[in-house]
Amino acid sequence: MKRFSAILLAAGLILCASAGGGDPATPTPLGAQATTPAPAITSNEGKEATPMAESAAMIPLPPVKTTGAMPLEDSLARRRSAREFSALPITLEEAGQLLWAAQGVTDPQRGYRTAPSAGALFPLEVYLVAGKVEGLPAGVYTYDPRRHGLKCVATGDKRADLCRVALDQDPVRKAAVDIVIAAVVARTEAKYGSRAERYVHMEVGHAGQNVLLQAVARGLGAVPIGAFDDKDVKRVLGLPPSEDPFYIIPIGPVR
């Protein structure tokens, strides 16, 4: 595992240096999702950084574990919001497991994921705001469910910036990582019209609960955060215009 982390660390450094389940019977192919041009990343000081390359290198995550020592019933019984975190990091394997819990592919042939999606349209986009992850440089990463990997979209530790635009809620800054769930409502709206926003909110809830329960199963603390300035979160993370943030989940070892 140490050798794997070392390889990933080298890949992440190179990448960041260059960066500047649905349940319907007929799911939409995963490759058919809409694409948008890579946005320019803007800092809190308003200085525009170099735009990300459209085909940024993929950082592979460790293989997913689909069995564990803690039964689901125990995870449900033990789930609590944790707002005090230690200074310890999480492992790259733990980060990957948490991201997989949010939107991981569970059936490559049919494209189903860990959370249900209306019409299998999969509007959610999941981001890892990494501060303390073994083998991964601090930065903002987008999760690719199809390849179970990460792409760096912004370099540097953004937890403090994200905390400021989340009404200065300390868990956002102190947790080892923040998982941010965003969504492209238009993907669902194309089929379901005015019902789309409701369906997307439901999907965010499904994914968020998956993450919270996975954190419990791995002995980590987590807390759901819903109070933040949407526009400023988009600016801090460099989200495309089509994406809106819905959820911030700080996660890390507890004291």
Q: What is the pLDDT of residues 1-52, one digit of tens each?
A: 444 444 444 444 444 544 434 443 333 333 333 333 333 333 333 333 333 4
Residue 30 falls within a domain, yes or no? no
What's residue 45's pLDDT? Answer: 33
Residue 58 falls within a domain, yes or no? yes
CATH number of the domain within which 199 lies: 3.40.109.10
What's residue 255's pLDDT? Answer: 85
33 burial (CB, 10 Å; 0-12 / 13-18 / 19+) is: middle
Cβ-contact 14, 220 below 8 angstroms: no
Q: Which tokens go with 220? A: 């980590």
Residue 188 falls within a domain, yes or no? yes
**132-149 burial, b if ≥16 CB within 10 A, otherwise e?**
bbbbbbbbbbbbbbeebb
Q: What value does the mean pLDDT take over residues 48-70?
A: 75
Range of the domain at 220: 2-21+38-252
Instruction: Find the range with the poorest average confidence among 28-32, 113-117, 208-212.
Output: 28-32
What's residue 14's pLDDT? Answer: 42
| Number of domains composing the chain | 1
Mean pLDDT over the full length of the chain = 84
Q: What is the DSSP letter of 22?
A: -
Q: How far apart are CA 96 and CA 150, in angstroms?
A: 9
Residue 67 falls within a domain, yes or no? yes
- The reported pTM is 0.80
Q: How far apart are CA 179 and CA 249, in angstroms?
A: 5
Q: Which residue has the tokens 């860990």?
A: 114
